[in-house]
Homo-oligomer: A and B are copies of this chain.
Amino acid sequence: MDGRPIGIFDSGAGGLTVLHECIVTMPHEDFVYLGDGARCPYGPRPAGEIQRFALEVASHLERGGVKLIVAACNSATAAALPLLQEKLAVPVVGVLTPEAHAAVQATRNRRIGVLATEATVESGRYANAVQTLDAGAAVVSVACPKLVPMIESGTVDGALHAAVREYAAPLKEVAVDTVILGCTHYPLIRPVFERVFGRRTTLIFSAEETAREVAETLERKGIENERSREGATTFFTTGSPEEFRALGERFLQLPIGSVERVGIRELELEAA
Protein backbone atom coordinates (compact mmCIF):
# COMPACT_ATOMS: atom_id res chain seq x y z
CA MET A 1 0.00 0.00 0.00
CA ASP A 2 1.18 3.48 -0.81
CA GLY A 3 -0.66 6.66 0.21
CA ARG A 4 1.23 9.02 -2.11
CA PRO A 5 -0.74 10.74 -4.87
CA ILE A 6 -0.45 10.17 -8.63
CA GLY A 7 0.85 13.12 -10.66
CA ILE A 8 -0.76 13.99 -13.98
CA PHE A 9 0.39 16.73 -16.32
CA ASP A 10 -0.62 18.21 -19.64
CA SER A 11 0.13 21.42 -21.47
CA GLY A 12 -3.38 22.55 -20.66
CA ALA A 13 -6.70 21.10 -19.69
CA GLY A 14 -6.95 18.24 -22.25
CA GLY A 15 -5.32 15.85 -19.82
CA LEU A 16 -8.34 16.31 -17.55
CA THR A 17 -10.08 13.63 -19.62
CA VAL A 18 -7.28 11.30 -18.49
CA LEU A 19 -7.76 12.47 -14.90
CA HIS A 20 -11.49 11.78 -15.23
CA GLU A 21 -10.91 8.20 -16.40
CA CYS A 22 -8.32 7.71 -13.65
CA ILE A 23 -10.80 8.84 -10.99
CA VAL A 24 -13.48 6.52 -12.38
CA THR A 25 -11.04 3.58 -12.41
CA MET A 26 -9.22 4.41 -9.13
CA PRO A 27 -11.63 6.41 -6.93
CA HIS A 28 -9.51 5.61 -3.87
CA GLU A 29 -6.37 7.32 -5.20
CA ASP A 30 -5.30 10.95 -4.71
CA PHE A 31 -4.22 12.94 -7.75
CA VAL A 32 -2.16 16.07 -8.33
CA TYR A 33 -2.90 17.68 -11.69
CA LEU A 34 -0.53 20.24 -13.14
CA GLY A 35 -1.51 22.08 -16.34
CA ASP A 36 1.21 24.07 -18.08
CA GLY A 37 -1.30 26.66 -19.24
CA ALA A 38 1.25 29.47 -19.57
CA ARG A 39 3.07 27.56 -22.31
CA CYS A 40 0.07 25.79 -23.89
CA PRO A 41 -0.12 24.32 -26.51
CA TYR A 42 3.01 22.14 -26.69
CA GLY A 43 2.10 20.71 -30.10
CA PRO A 44 3.56 23.35 -32.43
CA ARG A 45 6.84 23.74 -30.46
CA PRO A 46 10.19 22.17 -31.39
CA ALA A 47 10.84 18.80 -29.71
CA GLY A 48 13.73 20.16 -27.63
CA GLU A 49 11.50 22.81 -26.10
CA ILE A 50 8.70 20.32 -25.34
CA GLN A 51 11.29 18.10 -23.66
CA ARG A 52 12.52 20.96 -21.46
CA PHE A 53 8.98 21.99 -20.45
CA ALA A 54 7.84 18.42 -19.79
CA LEU A 55 10.94 17.72 -17.70
CA GLU A 56 10.40 20.88 -15.61
CA VAL A 57 6.76 20.04 -14.99
CA ALA A 58 7.30 16.33 -14.29
CA SER A 59 10.26 17.07 -12.00
CA HIS A 60 8.09 19.49 -10.04
CA LEU A 61 5.52 16.71 -9.54
CA GLU A 62 8.26 14.28 -8.50
CA ARG A 63 9.63 16.73 -5.92
CA GLY A 64 6.07 17.02 -4.61
CA GLY A 65 6.19 13.34 -3.69
CA VAL A 66 4.01 11.55 -6.24
CA LYS A 67 4.35 7.79 -6.68
CA LEU A 68 3.80 7.72 -10.45
CA ILE A 69 3.53 10.34 -13.18
CA VAL A 70 1.16 10.32 -16.15
CA ALA A 71 2.16 12.32 -19.22
CA ALA A 72 -1.47 13.00 -20.20
CA CYS A 73 -0.56 14.69 -23.43
CA ASN A 74 0.26 13.26 -26.84
CA SER A 75 2.79 15.94 -27.72
CA ALA A 76 4.67 15.49 -24.44
CA THR A 77 4.59 11.70 -24.75
CA ALA A 78 5.78 11.72 -28.36
CA ALA A 79 8.59 14.19 -27.71
CA ALA A 80 9.65 13.54 -24.14
CA LEU A 81 8.53 10.21 -22.64
CA PRO A 82 11.89 8.37 -22.96
CA LEU A 83 13.72 11.42 -21.57
CA LEU A 84 11.38 11.66 -18.56
CA GLN A 85 11.80 7.95 -17.90
CA GLU A 86 15.58 8.27 -18.01
CA LYS A 87 15.75 11.37 -15.79
CA LEU A 88 13.13 10.63 -13.12
CA ALA A 89 13.17 7.99 -10.41
CA VAL A 90 9.39 7.51 -10.32
CA PRO A 91 7.75 5.55 -13.13
CA VAL A 92 6.26 7.62 -15.96
CA VAL A 93 3.30 6.34 -17.99
CA GLY A 94 2.46 8.04 -21.27
CA VAL A 95 -0.36 7.92 -23.72
CA LEU A 96 0.15 6.26 -27.18
CA THR A 97 1.32 2.74 -26.26
CA PRO A 98 -1.79 1.79 -24.24
CA GLU A 99 -4.12 2.81 -27.09
CA ALA A 100 -1.99 1.08 -29.73
CA HIS A 101 -2.08 -2.12 -27.68
CA ALA A 102 -5.84 -1.88 -27.21
CA ALA A 103 -6.38 -1.28 -30.93
CA VAL A 104 -4.32 -4.32 -31.92
CA GLN A 105 -6.29 -6.43 -29.46
CA ALA A 106 -9.62 -5.08 -30.68
CA THR A 107 -9.39 -5.06 -34.47
CA ARG A 108 -10.88 -7.95 -36.40
CA ASN A 109 -9.88 -6.97 -39.91
CA ARG A 110 -6.50 -5.61 -38.79
CA ARG A 111 -7.24 -2.21 -40.33
CA ILE A 112 -6.79 0.55 -37.76
CA GLY A 113 -7.48 4.24 -38.14
CA VAL A 114 -5.87 7.07 -36.16
CA LEU A 115 -7.34 10.53 -35.69
CA ALA A 116 -4.98 12.93 -33.90
CA THR A 117 -3.34 16.35 -34.09
CA GLU A 118 -0.93 17.16 -36.90
CA ALA A 119 2.12 16.86 -34.62
CA THR A 120 1.04 13.42 -33.39
CA VAL A 121 0.28 12.10 -36.87
CA GLU A 122 3.57 13.49 -38.20
CA SER A 123 5.52 11.82 -35.40
CA GLY A 124 4.30 8.44 -36.71
CA ARG A 125 4.28 7.07 -33.15
CA TYR A 126 0.87 5.41 -33.32
CA ALA A 127 1.66 3.63 -36.58
CA ASN A 128 5.01 2.48 -35.15
CA ALA A 129 3.49 1.30 -31.88
CA VAL A 130 0.74 -0.62 -33.69
CA GLN A 131 3.14 -2.25 -36.13
CA THR A 132 5.55 -3.26 -33.37
CA LEU A 133 2.69 -5.28 -31.91
CA ASP A 134 1.22 -6.48 -35.22
CA ALA A 135 3.49 -6.19 -38.22
CA GLY A 136 0.58 -7.12 -40.49
CA ALA A 137 -1.82 -4.42 -39.34
CA ALA A 138 -2.66 -1.60 -41.74
CA VAL A 139 -2.73 1.86 -40.17
CA VAL A 140 -4.34 4.91 -41.75
CA SER A 141 -3.69 8.17 -39.88
CA VAL A 142 -5.49 11.44 -40.47
CA ALA A 143 -4.44 14.76 -38.94
CA CYS A 144 -7.37 16.78 -37.59
CA PRO A 145 -6.10 20.35 -37.13
CA LYS A 146 -9.59 21.85 -36.75
CA LEU A 147 -10.81 19.71 -33.86
CA VAL A 148 -8.92 20.98 -30.78
CA PRO A 149 -9.79 24.68 -31.34
CA MET A 150 -13.42 23.73 -32.07
CA ILE A 151 -13.62 21.57 -28.93
CA GLU A 152 -12.02 24.28 -26.77
CA SER A 153 -14.46 26.86 -28.14
CA GLY A 154 -17.22 24.67 -26.74
CA THR A 155 -19.60 24.93 -29.69
CA VAL A 156 -20.88 21.61 -30.97
CA ASP A 157 -22.45 22.66 -34.25
CA GLY A 158 -22.78 21.70 -37.88
CA ALA A 159 -19.23 22.83 -38.64
CA LEU A 160 -17.86 20.43 -36.00
CA HIS A 161 -19.92 17.56 -37.40
CA ALA A 162 -18.76 18.36 -40.91
CA ALA A 163 -15.14 18.42 -39.78
CA VAL A 164 -15.41 15.03 -38.05
CA ARG A 165 -17.12 13.54 -41.12
CA GLU A 166 -14.37 14.96 -43.35
CA TYR A 167 -11.58 13.47 -41.19
CA ALA A 168 -13.42 10.16 -40.84
CA ALA A 169 -13.97 9.74 -44.60
CA PRO A 170 -10.53 8.30 -45.52
CA LEU A 171 -10.82 5.78 -42.67
CA LYS A 172 -14.29 4.66 -43.73
CA GLU A 173 -13.11 4.37 -47.32
CA VAL A 174 -10.60 1.65 -46.39
CA ALA A 175 -13.11 0.09 -43.94
CA VAL A 176 -11.06 0.29 -40.72
CA ASP A 177 -12.96 -1.46 -37.92
CA THR A 178 -11.06 0.21 -35.07
CA VAL A 179 -10.20 3.89 -34.61
CA ILE A 180 -7.68 5.32 -32.14
CA LEU A 181 -8.83 8.77 -31.01
CA GLY A 182 -5.33 9.91 -30.18
CA CYS A 183 -5.84 13.27 -28.52
CA THR A 184 -6.91 13.92 -24.96
CA HIS A 185 -9.52 16.43 -26.15
CA TYR A 186 -11.50 13.95 -28.24
CA PRO A 187 -13.50 12.23 -25.45
CA LEU A 188 -15.33 15.56 -25.07
CA ILE A 189 -17.07 15.00 -28.38
CA ARG A 190 -17.50 11.23 -28.02
CA PRO A 191 -21.16 11.28 -29.17
CA VAL A 192 -20.14 12.89 -32.47
CA PHE A 193 -17.51 10.21 -33.15
CA GLU A 194 -19.97 7.49 -32.16
CA ARG A 195 -22.57 8.70 -34.64
CA VAL A 196 -20.10 9.23 -37.47
CA PHE A 197 -18.49 5.79 -37.12
CA GLY A 198 -21.50 3.77 -35.98
CA ARG A 199 -21.81 0.80 -33.69
CA ARG A 200 -19.64 -1.58 -35.69
CA THR A 201 -16.46 0.47 -35.35
CA THR A 202 -14.51 0.14 -32.10
CA LEU A 203 -13.42 3.54 -30.78
CA ILE A 204 -10.28 3.55 -28.63
CA PHE A 205 -9.90 6.63 -26.42
CA SER A 206 -6.43 7.39 -25.05
CA ALA A 207 -7.82 8.58 -21.70
CA GLU A 208 -9.53 5.25 -20.94
CA GLU A 209 -6.61 3.06 -22.00
CA THR A 210 -4.10 5.16 -20.09
CA ALA A 211 -6.19 4.93 -16.91
CA ARG A 212 -6.32 1.17 -17.35
CA GLU A 213 -2.52 1.04 -17.77
CA VAL A 214 -2.03 3.15 -14.61
CA ALA A 215 -4.37 0.92 -12.57
CA GLU A 216 -2.63 -2.27 -13.73
CA THR A 217 0.75 -0.74 -12.96
CA LEU A 218 -0.21 0.24 -9.39
CA GLU A 219 -1.67 -3.21 -8.82
CA ARG A 220 1.36 -5.06 -10.18
CA LYS A 221 3.75 -2.90 -8.18
CA GLY A 222 1.62 -3.30 -5.06
CA ILE A 223 1.49 0.49 -4.55
CA GLU A 224 -2.26 1.11 -4.58
CA ASN A 225 -3.84 3.27 -1.92
CA GLU A 226 -6.33 1.81 0.58
CA ARG A 227 -9.46 0.81 -1.34
CA SER A 228 -11.99 1.87 1.26
CA ARG A 229 -11.06 5.55 1.13
CA GLU A 230 -12.23 8.30 -1.21
CA GLY A 231 -9.47 10.11 -3.08
CA ALA A 232 -9.07 13.83 -3.68
CA THR A 233 -7.51 15.89 -6.46
CA THR A 234 -5.35 18.99 -6.15
CA PHE A 235 -5.05 21.31 -9.14
CA PHE A 236 -2.13 23.48 -10.22
CA THR A 237 -1.59 25.56 -13.33
CA THR A 238 1.22 27.74 -14.62
CA GLY A 239 -1.40 29.89 -16.35
CA SER A 240 -4.49 31.71 -15.15
CA PRO A 241 -6.29 29.77 -12.38
CA GLU A 242 -9.61 31.32 -13.50
CA GLU A 243 -9.21 30.15 -17.09
CA PHE A 244 -8.09 26.73 -15.92
CA ARG A 245 -11.11 26.45 -13.62
CA ALA A 246 -13.53 27.48 -16.37
CA LEU A 247 -12.08 25.12 -18.99
CA GLY A 248 -11.53 22.40 -16.40
CA GLU A 249 -15.07 22.41 -15.05
CA ARG A 250 -16.38 22.06 -18.57
CA PHE A 251 -13.93 19.22 -19.33
CA LEU A 252 -14.61 17.32 -16.12
CA GLN A 253 -18.24 18.30 -15.38
CA LEU A 254 -16.96 18.52 -11.81
CA PRO A 255 -16.75 21.61 -9.65
CA ILE A 256 -13.04 22.40 -9.31
CA GLY A 257 -12.52 24.11 -5.97
CA SER A 258 -9.22 25.88 -5.72
CA VAL A 259 -6.55 25.99 -8.40
CA GLU A 260 -3.12 27.02 -7.24
CA ARG A 261 -0.71 28.88 -9.46
CA VAL A 262 2.84 27.63 -10.03
CA GLY A 263 5.17 30.21 -11.55
CA ILE A 264 7.16 29.32 -14.66
CA ARG A 265 10.13 31.04 -13.02
CA GLU A 266 9.80 28.67 -10.07
CA LEU A 267 9.83 25.63 -12.37
CA GLU A 268 12.86 26.97 -14.23
CA LEU A 269 14.76 27.72 -11.01
CA GLU A 270 14.02 24.26 -9.65
CA ALA A 271 15.30 22.74 -12.87
CA ALA A 272 18.47 24.85 -12.93
Which residues of A does B touch, CB under 8 Å? Answer: 81-83, 85-88, 91-92, 97, 101-102, 104-108, 110, 132-137, 202, 213, 216-217, 220-223
Whether A86 lies near B136 (C-beta < 8 A) is: yes
Whether A85 lies near B134 (C-beta < 8 A) is: yes
Whether A86 lies near B221 (C-beta < 8 A) is: no
Q: Which B residues lie within 8 Å of A105 (CB)?
A: 213, 216-217, 220-221
Whether A110 lies near B91 (C-beta < 8 A) is: yes
Q: Which B residues lie within 8 Å of A213 (CB)?
A: 105
CB distance from A172 to the nearest CB of B (A): 20
Q: Which B residues lie within 8 Å of A202 (CB)?
A: 220
Whether A135 lies near B85 (C-beta < 8 A) is: yes
Whether A85 lies near B221 (C-beta < 8 A) is: no
30 pairs, A vs B, C-beta closer than 8 Å: A81-B135, A82-B135, A82-B136, A83-B135, A85-B134, A85-B135, A85-B136, A85-B137, A86-B135, A86-B136, A87-B136, A88-B136, A91-B110, A91-B134, A92-B134, A92-B136, A97-B133, A102-B220, A105-B213, A105-B216, A105-B217, A105-B220, A105-B221, A106-B221, A107-B221, A108-B221, A108-B222, A108-B223, A132-B132, A202-B220
In the complex, what distance in Å separates the CA atom of A92 from the CA atom of B137? 11
CB distance from A90 to the nearest CB of B (A): 9
Q: Which B residues lie within 8 Å of A133 (CB)?
A: 97
In the complex, what distance in Å separates the CA atom of A137 from the CA atom of B110? 31
CB distance from A65 to the nearest CB of B (A): 16
Residue of B nearest to A82 (CB): B135
In the complex, what distance in Å separates the CA atom of A216 from the CA atom of B104? 11
CB distance from A214 to the nearest CB of B (A): 10
Taking A85-B134, A105-B220 as known contacts, 16 extra A-B pairs with beta carbons closer than 8 A to each other, sorted by chain A number, are A81-B135, A82-B136, A85-B135, A86-B135, A86-B136, A87-B136, A91-B110, A97-B132, A101-B101, A105-B217, A106-B221, A108-B221, A108-B222, A108-B223, A132-B132, A202-B220
In the complex, what distance in Å separates the CA atom of A220 from the CA atom of B97? 16
CB distance from A55 to the nearest CB of B (A): 13
CB distance from A133 to the nearest CB of B (A): 7
